[in-house]
């Protein structure tokens, strides 16, 4: 059923998901990008996702409206303040931050699973990372393995059609610097991406949220200039 090499790619418009999509393209997959308008305050990432899907040649790009702000519980979807800090070290050793969105990856992967079944493909790519990340529980290898087990029990295509579904997380054990090096080797234009949790009114990255710090650290360690910032 997978002879045509289709793959569903969860595409947020950020650095990691863009690199993941570039990896899938390099492996010869026909790309079906899936993006969510889930009530996030950083909706500018939707514009980035559109640019990236077009640039990487997605066969189809779905943007699904899904308002998680109704549920709340996260600084990304509600009125909670996005934590800011002046250095990466200030956030070391803290508990899971309020930027965690309850069950977000489970919800997103469930939609991807449904689309993959319709497309008759067993390949879903997601750009989660468990090395340089904010400590979200749904970015860990054991979570991805558990979802994959569930997915193969949950669909007609798998239980009756003989399809084996695989959740591909090619970045999960890489540092941010290694992710950037891999993307640069694949020709990724990171100027198209948007990573900041709380962008300024003009769309520029704030430079002080957790996501900005992780991104800047990654580019610095990889030896490249980050196009999202003008380094002084």
Question: H helices within the chain, ranges in order?
Answer: 15-26, 44-55, 104-119, 141-154, 156-159, 176-185, 210-222
Share of the chain above pLDDT 90, in %: 76
pLDDT digits (tens, 9 = 90+) for 201-222: 888 899 999 999 999 999 999 9
pTM confidence score: 0.93
Between 230 and 219, where is the model more confident?
A: 219
pLDDT of 63 over the 90 cut? yes
For residue 4 the two structure tokens come to 């045509």
Q: How far apart are CA 5 and CA 24, in angstroms?
A: 10
230 — pLDDT class (breaks 50, 70, 90): low
Q: Residue 212: its pLDDT value, please?
A: 93
pLDDT digits (tens, 9 = 90+) for 122-171: 999 999 999 877 789 999 999 999 999 999 999 999 999 889 999 999 99
Q: Residue 93: its pLDDT value, please?
A: 54
Q: Are 30 and 60 in contact (CB under 8 A)?
A: no
């Amino acid at each position: 059923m997978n002879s045509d090499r289709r793959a569903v790619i969860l595409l947020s418009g950020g650095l990691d998901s863009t690199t993941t999509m570039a990896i899938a393209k390099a492996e010869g997959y026909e790309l079906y990008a899936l993006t969510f308008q889930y009530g996030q305050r950083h909706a500018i990432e939707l514009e980035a996702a559109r640019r990236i899907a077009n640039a990487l040649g997605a066969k189809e790009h779905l943007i699904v409206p899904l308002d998680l702000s109704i549920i709340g519980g996260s600084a990304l979807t509600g009125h909670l303040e996005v934590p800011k800090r002046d250095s990466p070290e200030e956030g070391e050793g803290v508990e899971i931050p309020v930027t965690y969105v309850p069950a977000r990856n489970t919800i997103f992967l469930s939609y991807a699973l449904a689309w993959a079944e319709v497309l008759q493909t067993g390949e879903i790519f997601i750009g989660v990372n468990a090395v340089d990340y904010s400590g979200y529980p749904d970015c860990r290898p054991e979570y991805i393995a558990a979802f994959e087990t569930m997915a193969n029990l949950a669909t007609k295509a798998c239980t009756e059609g003989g399809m084996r579904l695989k959740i591909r997380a090619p970045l999960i054990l890489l540092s941010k610097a290694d992710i950037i090096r891999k993307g640069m080797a694949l020709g990724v234009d990171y100027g198209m991406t948007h990573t900041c949790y709380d962008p300024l009114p003009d769309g520029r990255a704030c430079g002080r949220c957790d996501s900005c710090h992780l991104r800047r650290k990654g580019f610095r360690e990889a030896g490249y200039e980050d196009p999202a910032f003008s380094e002084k």
